[in-house]
Structure 1
Amino acid sequence: MSIEELFYLHNQTIFKYLYYLLNDEKLAEDFTQETIIRYFKYEQTIKEGAELAWLRRTARNLAYDHYRRKKLIQFVPFLNQDVEVEQSIPHTPHQWLIQQEEAKALYLAISKLKLAYRDVLILRKIECLSIQETCDVLGWNEGKVKNTLKRALLALKKQLGGELDEEV
């Protein structure tokens, strides 16, 4: 696969994941390019069919390294832009305001969770990855992903004052 083909296939996915982690468009673009470049550097060591998991894991490592260098770990607000447009468009200004306030509360609550919880919530509930795909990205076993997600949802529920929609 050429660099153009790989970039075309996966750049949006990797960019979006990095943007969720970094909340910096320029940095997410730079790290997306760096991730693609690293793929070609290590292409021979990557299992066939595991390219996207490898790309996500590499992107995650780049983001974490960035925060370690800055000695700063923070969570980035996200919006799942893949939701059907009908569901995401408020019909009145009042509904829009309520939606914005709920999103702020959710972002704030998630930002207070520990990093492992943030990771599993982004990958499973925002990126909608399967358990196996999440295992591949995080390097965890299936039990750890399930348990961490369960604990993350409980911690998020606690942060939100007991109000948690199961479709987080």
Structure 2
Amino acid sequence: MREKEIISDWFHQYSDDIYNFLLYRVGKADVEDLVQEVFIKAMKGLHTFKGNSNPRTWLYSIARNIAIDEIRRRNRNKWRTMLSFDSSHEPKIDQTPEQLLHLSEENRLLYEAIQSLKSSYRDVIVLRGVKGFSVQETAEILQWSENKTRSTYHRAKMALQQRVGGATHE
């Protein structure tokens, strides 16, 4: 199969999952651009894909790196905006993902709780708990050992339970 056909097949199979992962990870409305970037990088790097792992885990690894880069870029822009004294550079307020997706109240609370976790907890919760990756697949995507993946997932679930439990009892 030609490279474009392979990427096209993967896009049809995995783009919705990648979109949801990136939405949880970066929490902004411009996720479509990031999904495209994932598949562009995959096409450019297809020759490096050895086939030793599932293409889904490889694509999630690319998506995770793109999400990290995007968050860094946003943080740099936020600092530039904060350091600027010109009022024409005030940050614009985007619609939140939950407004865009019309999430139910329960899903919105869960989404907000996941967003409040530190990034390593957020990654492992989304990959294992939301997307259903195995320990091995999650470890591969995050470039962690399986033991670290298990223990971080356990800690992340505990932190999430505290946040969700605390939000419902306030």
Common fold by TM > 0.5: yes
Regions of 4+ moved over 6 Å: none
> Which deviates more from structure 2 when the two are superposed, residues 15-24 or residues 56-65?
15-24
Q: Choose 1 or 2 for highest CA Rg.
A: 2
> Which deviates more from structure 2 when the two are superposed, residues 137-146 or residues 149-158?
149-158
Structure 1 contact 157–163 (Cα < 8 Å) conserved = no
Question: Aligned residue for 2:123?
Answer: 119
TM-score, length of structure 2 as denominator length? 0.71
CA separation of 1:5 and 1:159: change in aligned 2, threshold 3 A = closer
CA deviation string 1:11-48 (max 9, x = no partner): 222122212223334x2211111111111211121121
The match for 1:37 among 35, 40, 43 is 40
Question: Aligned residue for 2:49?
Answer: 46
Q: Which has the higher contact order (CA 8 A, sep 6+)?
A: 2
Q: What displacement does 1:162 show?
A: 6.4
CA distance in 2, matches of 1:77, 1:154: 24
Q: Tell me, which stretches of 5 or more residues in structure 1 are unaligned? A: 79-98
Report % sequence identity: 38
CA distance in 2, matches of 1:104, 1:10: 24
Kindly report the root-mean-square deviation, in angstroms, between the aligned alpha carbons of the 2 structures: 2.7
CA distance in 2, matches of 1:112, 1:24: 14
Amino acid at match of 1:70: R
Question: Aligned residue for 1:90?
Answer: none
CA distance in 2, matches of 1:65, 1:126: 22
CA distance in 2, matches of 1:57, 1:31: 13
Number of aligned positions between the proteins: 141
State the secondary structure of the residue aligned to 2:132: coil
Q: Tell me, which stretches of 5 or more residues in structure 2 are unaligned? A: 79-95
Question: Aligned residue for 2:90?
Answer: none
Question: Aligned residue for 1:138?
Answer: 142
CA distance in 2, matches of 1:6, 1:110: 27
